[in-house]
Amino acid sequence: RKLGYAIVGLGGYGLGIIIPQFKNCQHSKLVALVSGDPVKAKRVAAEYGVPERSIYNYQNFDSIKDNPDIDVVYVCLPVSMHAEYTIRAAQAGKHVMCEKPMAVSSKECEAMIAACKKAGKKLMIGYRCHFEANNLEARRRARAGEIGKLRYFRSEHGFTAGNPNSWRLKKAMSGGGSLMDIGIYALNAARYMTAEEPIAVYAKETTDRHDPRFREVEDMIEFELEFPSGVIASCMSMYSANQNHILLMGDKGRIDMEPGTRYDGNKLWVGQDRSNLITPAPGPGATQWSGQLDHLSLCVLNNKEPIVPGEEGLRDIRIVEAIYRSAREQKRIALI
Ligand code: NAD
């Protein structure tokens, strides 16, 4: 059976990336839209065969509870709205896929987890790289010991932020700057590649506060994570240059990915340098997104926990909070 998804937020990601992916899914289909723009919603509904009765707006959102076609609500909204729509969806009796970063604070993440638990509904975070073939291959090879004992992880993620009025550059809507939006890929990868949880962080932020884009949020932040095994992860995110790279250094070789976490075109080398380009084994879905969507559907159908549940989003946000604190107080912060 295919589970029915309602997409909340018809923006760059919800409309541009997620909606076209249902055609690649085996267990997931698009059945409803939630948008503040009725003209756009009607056009998208017609294009994707969504009935007009299944178009909702932010005011009548809660009436999704009366629509049995909707099994899952996929929250593709600015970060400050993730908690509200996740909690309202759970209260309407729906499972939830929520985009990354999970929320603007760990307190909100905890409330989201509690609401889904109380409603007996699944909560998964949109960490698509856990379904991306190159990332899965890299992780498999690292765990199989192909590069020996892992000593060092490095990742830089950035893009050039444009419009100063974008919600991404408003602290109240984004919760923070490049770290929240794109640095979270480096942070999450440091955790899934090492299979360890960091015990301490140290961070340094540098931002040109005269740049109209960066009045409220950081541009560049460098953060170091200490892992129990002795591995150090050195990560950086920025809003003033394009960069997308993951590197694992072991005592017998390296795993290098550039780009590492893009929508497509990711590349993976394993060995001493970049001479051995790897073709990864196929991921779980035809694309990283269909793998991600169908994973949640199968978890619902088989009553299993998603591999990237709300708790995974919460772990990252707790570390993000420690990173910001470290940068602010200019000191190492021990975790737990
Ligand atoms: P976007 O600005 O393109 O879209 C946001 C949508 O929310 C728009 O349709 C907008 O109309 C709607 N919205 C409703 N209320 C709003 C308000 N008060 N202010 C602003 N917009 C409002 O953003 P996006 O790039 O689609 O990002 C949406 C979410 O998806 C974010 O959480 C982002 O981090 C995430 N995202 C994830 C990936 C990924 O690869 N997993 C990629 C891009 C974005």
Please provide residue 23's backbone torsions phi and psi, each rounded to the nearest 5 degrees: -65, -20
Q: Average pLDDT for residues 227-243, to the nearest whole number?
A: 98
> Which residues are known to be catalytic?
100, 185
- Of 142, 119, 132, 94, give the one whose Cα is nearest residue 253: 142
Q: Average pLDDT for residues 191-197, to the nearest whole number?
A: 98
Pocket test for ligand 1, best of 88, 99, 170, 244 (most atoms within 8 A of CB): 99
The DSSP secondary-structure symbol of 60 reads S
- Per-residue pLDDT tens for 303-331? 999 999 999 999 999 999 999 999 999 99
Q: What is the dihedral of CA 297, 303, 305, 309, to 10 degrees?
A: 50
By the 8 A CB rule, do 26 and 7 touch?
A: no
Answer whether 12 contacts ligand 1 (Cβ < 6 A): yes
Which residues lie below 8 Å from residue 212, measured CB to CB, with a gap of 6+? 164
Q: Which fold has domain 3-127+287-305?
A: Rossmann fold (3.40.50)
For residue 144, the SS3 value is coil
For residue 12, the CA-to-ligand 1 centroid distance in Å is 6
Asked if pLDDT for residue 216 goes beyond 90, the answer is yes
Answer whether 253 contacts ligand 1 (Cβ < 6 A): no
Q: Average pLDDT for residues 33-60, to the nearest whole number?
A: 98
CATH class of 133-282+317-334: alpha beta
pLDDT of residue 203: 98
Which residue type, as a one-letter code, is found at position 191? R
For residue 104, the SS3 value is coil
For residue 263, the ligand 1 atom closest to its alpha carbon is 40
Answer whether 76 contacts ligand 1 (Cβ < 6 A): yes
Answer whether 322 contacts ligand 1 (Cβ < 6 A): no
* Residue 242: how many other CB atoms lie within 10 Å: 10
Residue-averaged pLDDT of the chain: 98
* Residue 118: how many other CB atoms lie within 10 Å: 11
* Residue 204: how many other CB atoms lie within 10 Å: 14
pLDDT of residue 192: 98
Asked if pLDDT for residue 336 goes beyond 80, the answer is no
For residue 167, the CA-to-ligand 1 centroid distance in Å is 8
pLDDT of residue 122: 99
Domains of the chain: which residue ranges?
3-127+287-305, 133-282+317-334
- Per-residue pLDDT tens for 73-108? 999 999 999 999 999 999 999 999 999 999 999 999
For residue 57, the CA-to-ligand 1 centroid distance in Å is 15
For residue 166, the ligand 1 atom closest to its alpha carbon is 2
CB-based burial label for 28 (10 Å; 0-12, 13-18, 19+): buried
Answer whether 13 contacts ligand 1 (Cβ < 6 A): yes
Q: What is the dihedral of CA 288, 289, 290, 291, to 10 degrees?
A: 50
pLDDT of residue 255: 98
For residue 14, the CA-to-ligand 1 centroid distance in Å is 7
Answer whether 11 contacts ligand 1 (Cβ < 6 A): yes
For residue 181, the ligand 1 atom closest to its alpha carbon is 34
Answer whether 130 contacts ligand 1 (Cβ < 6 A): no
pLDDT of residue 271: 98
Q: Average pLDDT for residues 247-253, to the nearest whole number?
A: 98
- Token pair recorded at residue 123: 């909560």
pLDDT of residue 260: 98
- Per-residue pLDDT tens for 112-136? 999 999 999 999 999 999 999 999 9
For residue 128, the ligand 1 atom closest to its alpha carbon is 41
